[in-house]
Every structure is written in C-alpha cells, then in structure tokens.
C-alpha cells in the first residue's frame, strides 16, 4: 500500500508543479484558482509521502523521497510537453527514460532492505 501512496503522491507533485506553471500564465481570479490548486496538490502530495514512509511496510526515507521526486519530475516533463508545448528532443526523452529505469531499480532494491 505504501508504494501506492508514493505513486499517487508523486502524481500530486506533478499537479503542484503544473499549477505553478499555469498560475504564471494567468491573472486575476484564474491565477488565484491555480495557486489554490497548488496548495491543495502540495498538501496531498506531502501527506502521501509521509504515509508512504511510515507504517508496517515503510519505504526508507531516501528511497521514498527519490522515487516521489522522480515521479513528479517525469509527470511534469510529460505534462509540460502536452500543456506548454515544450520541445520533445532525443536527449530529453533519453534522460527521462534513464530516470524511469532508476525508479524501477530503486523499487527493486528497496524491497530487499530489511525494516528497522
């Protein structure tokens, strides 16, 4: 269950990054709605990161934070391409794929770490 919390928390991290990007391109009431979206997303994201690092099957802090941040980064890059028309280049996709491989690797080796 902790990995599910971490995955969803990473998706909300994407949400708060995109909310900030949208707020920069908005004004008035729309800007404030995006800032409210940021506050909600960052709160949920942090709560789920906290939950993933605790309980019976706690994910080690270093692994949890790295995976959470990487999920957010990957989601933000993908959403930036879709929403903000950011460029799709070979090197962006190459390094994005190495990040995905690293997340999978961390999950594999973390399942072998004894609990304290």
In the 3-class helix/strand/coil scheme, how is 21-70 assigned residue by residue? HHHHCCCHHHHHHHHHHHHHHHHHHHHHHHHHCCCCCCCCHHHHHHHHHH
Q: For 19-53, write each residue's pLDDT tens digit.
A: 999 999 999 999 999 999 999 999 999 999 999 99
Give the C-alpha separation, 17 to 11, whole Å: 10
Confidence of residue 63 (pLDDT cuts 50, 70, 90): confident
CB atoms within 10 A of CB 82: 10
pLDDT of residue 105: 86
Is 70 exceeded by the pLDDT of residue 116? no
Closest CA to 66 of 96, 103, 37: 103
């Amino acid at each position: 269950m902790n990995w599910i919390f971490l995955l969803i928390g990473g998706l909300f991290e994407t949400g708060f990054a995109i909310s900030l990007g949208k707020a920069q391109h908005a004004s008035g009431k729309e800007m404030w709605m995006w800032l409210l979206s940021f506050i909600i997303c960052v709160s949920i994201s942090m709560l789920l990161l906290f939950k993933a690092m605790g309980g019976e099957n706690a994910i080690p802090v270093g692994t949890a934070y790295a995976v959470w941040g990487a999920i957010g980064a990957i989601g933000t890059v993908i959403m930036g391409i879709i929403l903000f028309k950011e460029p799709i280049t070979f090197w962006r996709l190459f390094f994005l794929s190495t990040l995905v491989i690293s997340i999978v690797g961390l999950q594999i080796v973390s399942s072998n770490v004894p609990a304290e």
